Each structure stands twice: as structure tokens, then as C-alpha cells.
């Protein structure tokens, strides 16, 4: 039982969560893949290369807090959490989170999860299920939790891929698997001490990461399981609602306050609206669309429109109906920076800037980034913080500075 004082502290932190920045997977707790930025000096943003550093393999994206840039990688022997200097790209420290996670069934070697960080700590999960809380200054261990040995979790087929969620004073993880001994699939720890706050038993967890926001007036954590989506009270872990959806898949839910949730699976997406009535929350599917989907494809929501990559084509949907708006027959992955779409055409090695538009694809500029003739792979969404855009490929991390910022 959590004391009322602890609950009040957690709630206060939750209400202040998800401020501007990119300190966790897809930007913030609501996982909107969007960065607030309004200081453009021209008709469209322009970027220039600030630095590029070689980086080992892995699926981890980039997160940023202050002048610290965090990610995870494999050096050919071990998997590491690593922190770089945001201004220069110089490595500050690395910490061996575990043995090399060997890719299989076409996947690459290395970590799968993306670390989260605050002004004190980096929170990283290795592919074998070890959660490490490391000092952001030097990588020393503050505390660690073994999800398999300590909480009975079973390692998913491809390894632990879910990224930790920071919300209030909590770090929340999906343990995954079945046969949980003492806890549940969704577990909340105190960020500072590592003490267990709450845990929830649920359906099996796949490779999705939890999201959190205040929806219908209640701070809640939303989890997308292989056969369902559900939410719990962020302060107590009490289940608020659940919805059986066979198409839920493994991507991360995008929370759209005050009351909507966008889900994506391998072959479709759907919009859920929460109805609060008589003290209960009723989740209802507003629409489904087979025009947009993908298990590892980032999506953007802006001014009532949804933009994402489907079958290697940039696709736009009407966010209120799910109807197809347009298709650009080019392979691009988006991030929203201010009022602009920044897109990585990974097979071309180019960065594209476009204006979000409900009628057509409006290209503003293209920036050559790397030589893609050798078959470069990009497995991680981009990140943006302050005036810097971060792009990770299978061989390097690029940092591009916004001109005139």
C-alpha cells in the first residue's frame, strides 16, 4: 500500500511532467515524436553539420538532457550505455550494461532499448532485462534491478526492447514475458532510490514502450500489449481501463491530451477516445486505417493530421477520420520540429524539410547527409533538443545544428 503522502508527491510530479526537451524515447512521456521550436530565421529551417562520431551497432535512439547526449551501442564484444558532450560529440563515459546481444532473424547486434535521463541519472535497460540507474556525470552505478531474476520476467524472443518511461518521480518499465513471480508486467520504481512503487499484472508485453500523460483529468500510464491496450493510475498502479484489440502490435502509443490515443501496429493504426462518465473511463475506437502502420516507424501528429511511413512511402491521414489524405512515393521517416516536418530519406542519405499539409507533400529543401550507396541502415528515430538534430545510422551519430537559432 502506497502512503497518501507518496501518492501526492507522485501526482504532483506527474502533472508537471513532459516539459519541452528530448530526454526519453520519442521525446517525452506522451511519446509524440515532436519538439517545440519557434525561432526560425527564414521561411524554412536550415541545418549544418556540427559533428559526426563513429558509433557501434544497436537500435537505441538518442536522448538529451542539458549538455549530455545518451544512447546505447555495441562495440563488437559488449553492449554499452554511453554519454557524449552535446556541443562536441566527445565521449564522456561508457558503462558496460551486459554481454553483446546477438541479432537474429535479420536484426542487428546490440542494445534494443533507448535510455532516458534527467539532470542526475541515466536509466538504461539492456537486452537481457537489467535496468541500470547511472550517474549522468560519470556513469557510476546508483542502483540496478534485474527484471528476470528479481521480478520473474521472461526475456522476449528478440530481447528486452521497451524503453524506460520517466513520469513524475518514477521510472516505469515493461517487464515483459509470462510467469511473473512477485510483481507484474508494468513496474514503477522511485527514480532516486530504486524502491518499488507499484506493479501491475496484465496481458503479455511485447516490444512496446509505455507512455504517460494526463488524460480525461487523470495522470495515467498507457501500455500497448500484443492483444490489448490498457492504462493504470500513474500514482498507484490501479488499473483504469483496458481494451482488447488484436491489432495492437508492438509500436509505442502516442498520447494526445485531453482524451485521445493513437496506436500503430504492423499493418494498421487506430484512434482511441476516452470517455469519462460516472467515475469510469470508457475507451472507444474512433476509427481504424490500413493505410498507415509499421512496427518501428515513427509517426507525427500535427494540426489534426497524421504523418508516417507505410510500406516505404510517406503517408498522411486525416486524424479525425483516418481517411487517406495523400501518399508520397518516397521512403522517409518523420520528426516534428516546430511547425515543420524533418524527414530522413535513409536510402538516399538525405535530410528533407517539408511543410505539413493536408492536401499534398510540400518539400522545402534537401540536405545531403551521407553516402547511402553501401546500403546504410537506419533503425532509430531522430531526436531534437534546443537547436540540435540527432540522426543515428548503423555506423555513426550525426548532430546537425539549426542555422540562425
State the average pLDDT for the chain.
87
Statement: residue 107 has pLDDT above 80: no
Total number of domains in the chain: 1
Q: Inform me whether the pLDDT recorded for 114 exceeds 60.
A: yes
Give 153 or 78, the one with higher predicted confidence.
78
**For the chain, percent of residues with pLDDT exceeding 90:** 63
- Taking 80 as the threshold, does the pLDDT of residue 10 lie above it? no
Q: Name the residue range of residue 320's domain.
A: 4-402
Predicted pLDDT at 154: 74
Q: What is the pLDDT averaged over residues 372-379?
A: 81
pLDDT band, very low/low/confident/very high, at 170 (cuts 50, 70, 90) = very high
Reported as a single tens digit per residue, the pLDDT across 17-70 is: 454 589 999 999 999 999 977 655 556 788 999 999 999 989 999 999 999 999
* Residue 183 binned pLDDT confidence (cut-offs 50, 70, 90): very low
Give percent of the chain with pLDDT exceeding 70: 88
What are the cell numbers at 340? 515543420
CB 123 within 8 A of CB 171: yes
**Which of the four pLDDT bands, split at 50, 70 and 90, describes residue 214?**
very high
pLDDT (mean) for 87-98: 97
pLDDT (0 to 100) of residue 168: 95
Domain of 42, CATH number, reads: 2.130.10.10
- Grid cell, residue 286, equals 474512433
Amino acid at each position: 500500500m502506497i502512503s497518501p503522502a507518496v501518492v501526492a508527491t507522485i501526482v504532483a510530479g506527474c502533472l508537471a511532467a513532459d516539459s519541452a526537451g528530448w530526454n526519453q524515447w520519442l521525446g517525452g512521456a506522451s511519446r509524440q515524436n515532436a519538439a517545440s521550436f519557434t525561432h526560425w530565421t527564414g521561411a524554412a529551417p536550415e541545418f549544418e553539420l556540427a559533428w559526426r562520431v563513429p558509433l557501434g551497432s544497436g537500435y537505441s535512439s538518442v536522448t538529451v538532457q542539458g549538455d549530455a547526449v545518451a544512447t546505447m551501442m555495441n562495440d563488437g564484444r559488449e553492449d554499452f550505455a554511453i554519454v557524449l558532450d552535446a556541443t562536441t560529440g566527445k565521449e564522456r563515459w561508457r558503462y558496460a550494461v551486459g554481454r553483446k546481444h546477438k541479432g537474429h532473424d535479420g536484426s542487428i547486434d546490440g542494445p534494443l532499448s533507448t535510455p532516458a535521463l534527467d539532470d542526475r541519472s541515466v536509466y538504461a535497460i539492456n537486452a537481457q532485462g537489467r535496468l541500470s540507474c547511472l550517474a549522468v556525470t560519470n556513469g557510476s552505478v546508483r542502483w540496478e534491478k534485474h527484471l528476470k531474476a528479481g521480478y520473474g520476467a521472461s526475456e522476449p524472443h528478440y530481447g528486452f526492447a521497451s524503453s524506460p518511461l520517466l513520469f513524475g518521480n518514477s521510472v516505469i518499465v515493461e517487464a515483459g514475458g509470462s510467469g511473473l513471480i512477485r510483481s507484474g508486467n508494468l513496474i514503477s520504481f522511485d527514480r532516486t532510490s530504486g524502491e518499488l512503487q507499484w506493479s501491475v499484472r496484465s496481458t503479455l508485453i511485447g516490444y512496446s514502450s509505455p507512455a504517460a500523460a494526463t488524460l480525461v483529468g487523470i495522470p495515467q500510464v498507457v501500455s500497448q500489449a500484443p492483444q490489448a491496450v490498457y492504462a493504470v493510475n500513474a500514482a498507484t498502479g490501479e488499473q483504469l481501463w483496458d481494451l482488447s484489440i488484436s491489432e495492437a502490435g508492438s509500436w509505442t502509443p502516442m498520447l494526445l491530451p485531453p482524451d485521445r490515443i493513437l496506436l500503430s501496429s504492423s499493418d494498421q493504426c487506430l484512434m482511441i477516445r476516452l470517455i469519462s462518465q460516472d467515475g469510469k473511463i470508457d475507451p472507444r475506437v474512433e476509427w481504424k486505417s490500413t493505410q498507415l502502420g509499421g512496427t518501428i516507424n515513427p509517426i507525427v501528429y500535427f494540426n489534426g493530421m497524421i504523418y508516417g511511413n507505410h510500406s516505404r512511402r510517406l503517408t498522411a491521414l486525416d486524424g479525425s477520420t483516418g481517411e487517406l489524405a495523400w501518399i508520397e512515393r518516397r521512403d522517409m521517416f518523420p520528426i516534428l520540429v516546430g511547425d515543420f516536418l524533418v524527414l530522413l530519406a535513409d536510402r538516399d542519405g538525405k535530410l528533407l524539410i517539408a511543410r505539413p499539409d493536408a492536401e499534398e507533400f510540400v518539400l522545402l529543401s534537401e540536405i545531403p547527409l551521407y553516402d547511402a550507396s553501401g546500403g546504410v541502415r537506419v533503425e532509430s528515430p531522430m531526436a531534437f533538443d534546443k537547436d540540435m538534430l540527432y540522426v543515428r545510422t548503423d555506423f555513426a551519430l550525426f548532430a546537425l545544428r539549426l542555422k540562425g537559432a
